[in-house]
Structure 1
Amino acid sequence: MEERTAGTSPSGGSRTGRNLPAAIAVGVGLGALVIGSLYTIKELFLLVLVGAVGVGVAELSQAFATRGIKVPLVPVLAGLVAMQAGAYWGGPLWLLGAFAVFAFVLLIWRMFAGGTEGYVRDATASVFVLFYPAMLAAFAALLLMPPDGRDRVLIFIAVTVASDIGGYIAGVLFGKHKMTVISPKKTWEGFAGSVIACTAVGAWLVTWLLGGALWQGALIGALAAFLATVGDLIESVIKRDLGIKDLGTILPGHGGLMDRLDSLVTTLVPVWLLMTLFF
């Protein structure tokens, strides 16, 4: 999520056009759905995850189509389901195997679906979508596998959301120095707010929920802050290259689901690695 500069309009939206009340309401609703599914039946959370990432895949495919790039939805969505199931019930090797199989399926699919012209372009984009976000999201299933998997997933989501909130608040209150032309609304002050918020939330939740050390939680949080920012920038580059503002409109005040998933999927793998090493 891009951080915003200060100021709101009389209608409740920010100067940048973001409807803040709607964004908050949608965020609370999504949080309730995630936590409710996570702490009832683990597999129910996986269904929510597959549904959300599936919409994100569709948004990316439609965005690529605006530039004439064809990404076949059916095999990518089938790969998404296979990778989530393989990761949750089989582990990392099954996840890797499912990715390799469906990457090959996509190459064959495109070969027979569209002829030779544009093959490399379309096949590359298809495998890219299979990786980002579909494969990366499957690491949430790996986080969920252990007996304390619910708490691990909650910590991962909480530190990533803290990055957005901390960055937004610090950017609004103190943001003056721009980070990069890729995303002009991002500031170094906002990034500092993200790091502080993520580090604090990570240290708190890791000690409380997993019984870990403060430094372990702080490290997970700080890494999440950096990678969440990188995820935002990656999506900004994609949107600028395609010439679009948002990847979708399904979430009022936020844009598309991929506009919410960008920082989450880039944070997942390193957070999973650290939690696996620590706990």
Structure 2
Amino acid sequence: MEERTAGTSPSGGSRTGRNLPAAIAVGVVLGAAVIASLYTIKELFLLVVAAAVGVGVVEMTQALGTRDIKVPPVPVLGGMVAMLAGAYWGGPVWLLGAFVAFVFVLLIWRMFSSGTEGYVRDSTASVFTLIYPPMLAGFAALLLRPADGDNRVLIFIAVTVASDIGGYIAGVLFGRHKLTAISPKKTWEGLAGSIIACTAVGAWLVVWLMHGAIWQGALIGALAALLATVGDLIESMIKRDLGIKDMGTILPGHGGLMDRLDSLVTTLVPVWLLMTIFF
């Protein structure tokens, strides 16, 4: 999610350049779906993840197709399902095994689909799409596995959302100094807002839900803020390279699913690792 610097007011939108009522409504609906699935039947959350990541995969393949890069969505989606299921019911080894198996599926699929020209380019892009976001999303299933997995997932989502909200508000109110040319609307003030919001939310939720130490939650939150920002920048680089503004239009006020998943998938692995070490 890109923050907006103060004074930005594109025509047709709010002073932040977004359709805020639509964005807030979509965020509330998505949040309700996540919480309802987490705290009823945990496997329902896997279906929510699979649906979101599946749309993200389709958006990614279509975006790459604008540059005539051929990524077959069917085997990538098959790999996504195998990795999510393997991670949840089998653990990290099954996640890795499913990933390796579908790397070879993609290489063989491309071998018999479009001839030799562009084989390396298309195969590389296909493996990249298998990693980003499907394999990284598999760590959401790993977070969900333990008995308290619902709380772990909620903490992960909450700190990542806090990064977006904190960065957005701080960027709008105080943003003056550009963070990087990759994403001109990001500011150092916005990054500071992300870190403050994430650290506070992480410290609070880890103490409340996991009965951990304040410093553990603060560390999880601060790391999430930094990596969520990195995820935003990676997504910006991809879109700039492909010459597109958004990955899709499925979410009013937000763009595509990949425009919402970018910060989530990059924070998953380190948050899972810290949660595993701490608890």
TM-score normalised to the size of structure 1? 0.98
Q: Which residue of 1 aligns with 2:165?
A: 165
**1:144-163 mapped onto 2 (5 Å cutoff):** 144-163=144-163
Please give the secondary structure, in 1, of the residue aligned with 2:112: helix
Work out the CA distance in 2 between the residues paired with 1:181 and 1:9. 20
Work out the CA distance in 2 between the residues paired with 1:230 and 1:118. 30
Please give the secondary structure, in 2, of the residue aligned with 1:169: helix
Deviation at 1:18, TM superposition (A): 1.5
Q: Which residue of 1 aligns with 2:195?
A: 195
In structure 2, what residue type is equivalent to 1:209? L
* Residue 122 of structure 1 pairs with residue 122 of structure 2: yes
Please give the secondary structure, in 2, of the residue aligned with 1:4: coil
Deviation at 1:14, TM superposition (A): 2.9
Deviation at 1:13, TM superposition (A): 2.4
In structure 1, what residue type is equivalent to 2:149? G
In structure 2, what residue type is equivalent to 1:226? L
**1:228-247 mapped onto 2 (5 Å cutoff):** 228-247=228-247
TM-score normalised to the size of structure 2? 0.98
* Residue 97 of structure 1 pairs with residue 90 of structure 2: no
In structure 1, what residue type is equivalent to 2:20? L
Q: Which residue of 1 aligns with 2:58?
A: 58
Q: Which residue of 2 aligns with 1:26?
A: 26
Work out the CA distance in 2 between the residues paired with 1:243 and 1:223. 30
In structure 2, what residue type is equivalent to 1:206? V
Structure 2: state its 5+ residue gaps. none
Q: Which residue of 1 aligns with 2:176?
A: 176
* Residue-by-residue CA offset, 1:20-49 (whole Å, 9 max, x unaligned): 111111111110011011111000000010
Please give the secondary structure, in 2, of the residue aligned with 1:113: coil
* Residue-by-residue CA offset, 1:94-150 (whole Å, 9 max, x unaligned): 000000000110000000001100000000000000000000001000000000000
Work out the CA distance in 2 between the residues paired with 1:244 and 1:14. 22
Please give the secondary structure, in 2, of the residue aligned with 1:18: coil
Q: Which residue of 1 aligns with 2:83?
A: 83
Please give the secondary structure, in 1, of the residue aligned with 2:211: coil
In structure 2, what residue type is equivalent to 1:46? L
In structure 1, what residue type is equivalent to 2:2? E
Deviation at 1:162, TM superposition (A): 0.1
* Residue 67 of structure 1 pairs with residue 63 of structure 2: no
Deviation at 1:3, TM superposition (A): 0.5
Structure 1: state its 5+ residue gaps. none
* Residue-by-residue CA offset, 1:165-194 (whole Å, 9 max, x unaligned): 000000001000000000000000000000
Q: Is the 8 A contact 1:206 1:216 kept in 2?
A: yes
Work out the CA distance in 2 between the residues paired with 1:59 and 1:94. 26
Work out the CA distance in 2 between the residues paired with 1:159 and 1:12. 31
* Residue 136 of structure 1 pairs with residue 136 of structure 2: yes
Q: Percent identity?
A: 84
Please give the secondary structure, in 2, of the residue aligned with 1:248: coil
